[in-house]
């Protein structure tokens, strides 16, 4: 009998056996992400039908208008993680400061912290373009039993124990890694079960898609301008195709399957770049590297950056290894010619 696709639940149990001394907490954490993803998916797919689309009139710390679904997604993931008593702290794009989670008896015995962008690309919600949730998981570095501190969140990406995204698109997928490769699960909405649809996802070493908001071209660093012209030049396998959805999860997901590079560089409008290191770039970088790709700030490895603040922004070059390395070459050459 043809082996049916494994469910996410079966996969988590199977993989937990790989972690000899695992307490099962990380498995329970991934399971809570799974539940929250299904709840958010339901709302995202109903957005046009119920009064949940549009701004709430508030702004988040980024100064961005909070869409109602942003707030719903943020509350759903936070509440699900709290209810399962798995984490001792949460940081979110939608919350100015980190959130301390108390477990039973007001204690802080859980060992993981989660950082997340609960609904990335939310400006696309009103125009029915796919959006995503991004999450990153670390072990706390301060003593278990004490309240979390900012140090638990300001860890370099190399310390991540898990990372992933949910893409609410033509189908809803959960893609994640615990440091042993990347696996993608597609939701069967009829029964509310995620099935293993993309085992061992790999970033092709090369690609012919470049994803960048060329509307900002005049504001880009010279190295980025030079790389864009390289992509457009008629030579060998070029010109490449330009594909930019304006939804990080969607652009990275497509490029991971087809090969490609996503770039959000610094510009005169965004001197440090736009994307946030802790809950966008680090998790995407972990996934990219686990899938054989690369993630850089244009000069060095994203996951080696020592964070200094919760919502800090960095320039982001992520995708097929050879494409990121070529872009880094242009950045270095331009830097050397300053």
Interacting residues with ligand P6P (CB under 6 A): 120-121, 123, 213, 246-248, 251, 274-275
Q: Is 117 annotated as a binding-site member? A: yes
Q: Is 123 annotated as a binding-site member? A: yes
Q: Is 280 annotated as a binding-site member? A: yes
Residue 277 DSSP one-character state: I
Q: Is 119 annotated as a binding-site member? A: yes
- Which residue has 């060998």 as its token pair? 236
Q: State in angstroms the smallest separation of the CB of 15 from ligand P6P.
A: 29
Q: Which is nearer to ligand P6P, 109 or 268 (CB)?
A: 268
Q: Is 244 annotated as a binding-site member? A: yes
Q: Report the sign of the C-alpha dihedral through residues 285, 316, 131, 116, in that order.
A: positive
- Which residue has 């373009």 as its token pair? 129
What residues are paired with 164 via a beta bridge? 135, 176
Q: Which is nearer to ligand P6P, 62 or 109 (CB)?
A: 62
Q: Which is nearer to ligand P6P, 184 or 273 (CB)?
A: 273
Report the alpha-carbon distance of residue 81 to residue 114 in Å, rounded: 9
Q: State in angstroms the smallest separation of the CB of 16 from ligand P6P.
A: 32
Give residues with Cβ within 8 angstroms of 206, minimum separation 6: 237, 259, 320, 322, 323
Quote the distance between the C-alpha of residue 158 and its chain's center: 15
Q: Which is nearer to ligand P6P, 11 or 210 (CB)?
A: 210
Q: Which two tokens stand for residue 166?
A: 């949910």
Q: State in angstroms the smallest separation of the CB of 213 from ligand P6P.
A: 3
Question: 3-class SS at 29?
Answer: helix
Q: Is 213 annotated as a binding-site member? A: yes
Q: What are phi and psi of 116, to 5 degrees?
A: -150, 155
Q: Which is nearer to ligand P6P, 53 or 161 (CB)?
A: 53
Q: State in angstroms the smallest separation of the CB of 284 from ligand P6P.
A: 10
Q: State in angstroms the smallest separation of the CB of 73 from ligand P6P.
A: 14
Report the alpha-carbon distance of residue 288 to residue 281 in Å, rounded: 10
Q: Are 152 and 142 in contact (CB under 8 A)?
A: yes
Q: Is 64 annotated as a binding-site member? A: no
Q: Which is nearer to ligand P6P, 123 or 149 (CB)?
A: 123
Q: State in angstroms the smallest separation of the CB of 136 from ligand P6P.
A: 15
- What residue numbers does the annotated binding site for substrate cover? 120-123, 213, 244, 274
- What residue numbers does the annotated binding site for Mg(2+) cover? 93, 117, 119-120, 280
């Amino acid at each position: 009998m043809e082996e049916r696709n494994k469910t996410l639940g079966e996969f988590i149990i199977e993989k937990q056996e790989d972690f000899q001394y695992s307490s099962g907490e990380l498995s329970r954490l991934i399971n809570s992400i799974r539940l929250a993803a299904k709840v958010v998916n339901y709302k995202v797919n109903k957005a046009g039908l119920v009064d949940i689309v549009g701004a709430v009139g508030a702004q988040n710390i980024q100064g961005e208008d909070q869409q109602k679904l942003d707030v719903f997604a943020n509350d759903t993931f936070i509440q699900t993680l709290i209810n399962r008593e798995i984490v001792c702290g949460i940081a979110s794009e939608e919350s100015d400061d980190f959130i301390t989670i108390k477990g039973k008896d007001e204690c802080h015995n859980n060992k993981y912290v989660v950082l997340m962008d609960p609904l990335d690309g939310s400006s696309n919600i009103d125009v029915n373009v796919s959006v995503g949730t991004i999450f990153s998981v670390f072990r706390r570095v301060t003593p278990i039993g004490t309240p979390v501190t900012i140090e638990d969140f300001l860890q370099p990406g190399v310390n991540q124990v898990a990372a992933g995204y949910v893409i609410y698109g033509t189908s809803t997928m959960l893609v994640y890694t615990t440091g042993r490769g990347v696996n993608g699960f597609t939701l069967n909405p009829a029964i509310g079960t995620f099935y293993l649809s993309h085992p061992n996802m790999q970033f092709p070493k090369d690609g012919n898609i470049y994803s960048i908001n060329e509307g900002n071209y005049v504001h880009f660093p010279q190295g980025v301008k030079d790389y864009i012209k390289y992509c457009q030049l008629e030579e060998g396998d070029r010109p490449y195709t330009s594909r930019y959805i304006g939804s990080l999860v969607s652009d990275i997901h497509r490029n991971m399957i087809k090969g490609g590079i996503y770039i959000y560089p610094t510009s005169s409008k965004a001197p440090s770049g736009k994307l946030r290191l802790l809950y966008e770039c680090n998790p995407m970088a972990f996934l990219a590297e686990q899938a054989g790709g690369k993630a850089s700030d244009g000069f060095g490895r994203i996951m080696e950056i020592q964070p200094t603040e919760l919502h800090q922004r960095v320039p982001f070059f992520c995708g097929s290894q050879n494409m990121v390395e070529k872009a880094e070459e242009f950045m270095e050459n331009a830097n050397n010619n300053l």
